[in-house]
């Protein structure tokens, strides 16, 4: 059994992760320090910042707080198993199985394990749309790419990871509170 140590001090086997092992602080911290695109960008741009942009796009489209939270957390498994670029990830079927297992526990932790196929399709569409924007803006090889219409203006500035981490934490807290109240 291999044990991982997280930012918050938790210790567990990521291959046997439970919903109790999942910690918002660990997710926010790790994703704010994890660079998108394997680091092949114009400047540091984190998975955490990408996730915030996805949640803001969902809000701008008038989607529910539940879908905003799903958009915010859609890459949360990467806090535990890191990020692999899409062109490679599709060939790593074992990685995809592990990612799906961990995401299942994350969805469970945040009460999103009953997302409908339509809800899953929606957050995946936003992920793709924000990715297209990021590629064009942050990667020189994609500057001529056509962009899908967005309802928000994604923040792709070079932000301090601590600010991204704090905003991520505040956004999760706000969305959970709003969902619980409704």
pLDDT score of 132 = 93
Query: Contact at 8 Å (CB) between 95 and 78?
Result: no
Report which of 174, 177, 158 is spatially closest to residue 32, judged by C-alpha positions: 158
Say how far apart CA 65 and CA 82 lie, in whole Å: 26
pLDDT at 62: 98
- Residues facing 4 on adjacent strands: 12
Give backbone dihedrals phi and psi of 11, rounded to 5 degrees, phi first.
-135, 125
Task: Please identify which residue in the block is written with the tokens 């114009």.
Answer: 42
Per-residue pLDDT at 22: 98
Written as tens digits, the pLDDT of the chain (182 aa) is: 699 999 999 999 999 999 999 999 999 999 999 999 999 999 999 999 999 999 999 999 999 999 999 999 999 999 999 988 889 988 998 998 999 999 999 999 999 999 999 999 999 999 999 999 999 999 887 677 788 999 999 999 999 999 999 999 999 999 999 999 98
Q: Can you count the helices (H) and strands (E) in the chain?
A: 8, 2
Count of CA atoms in the C-beta half-sphere (13 A) of 145: 18
Q: Is the pTM of this model over 0.85?
A: yes
C-alpha span between 116 and 119 (Å, rounded): 5
């Amino acid at each position: 059994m291999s044990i991982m140590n997280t930012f918050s001090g938790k210790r567990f086997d990521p291959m046997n992760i439970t919903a109790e092992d999942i910690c918002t602080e660990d997710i926010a911290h790790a994703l704010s320090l994890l660079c998108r695109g394997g680091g092949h960008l114009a400047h540091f741009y984190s998975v955490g910042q990408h996730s915030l942009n996805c949640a803001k796009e969902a809000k701008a489209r008038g989607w529910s707080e539940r879908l905003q939270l799903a958009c915010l957390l859609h890459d949360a498994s990467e806090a535990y198993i890191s990020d692999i670029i899409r062109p490679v990830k599709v060939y790593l079927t074992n990685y995809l199985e592990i990612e799906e297992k961990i995401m299942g526990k994350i969805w469970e932790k945040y009460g999103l394990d009953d997302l409908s196929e339509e809800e899953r399709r929606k957050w995946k569409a936003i992920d793709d749309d924000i990715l297209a924007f990021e590629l064009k803006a942050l990667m020189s090889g994609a500057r001529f790419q056509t962009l899908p219409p967005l309802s928000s203006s994604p923040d792709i500035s070079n932000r301090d990871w601590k600010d991204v981490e704090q905003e991520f934490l505040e956004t999760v807290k706000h969305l959970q509170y709003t969902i619980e109240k409704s």
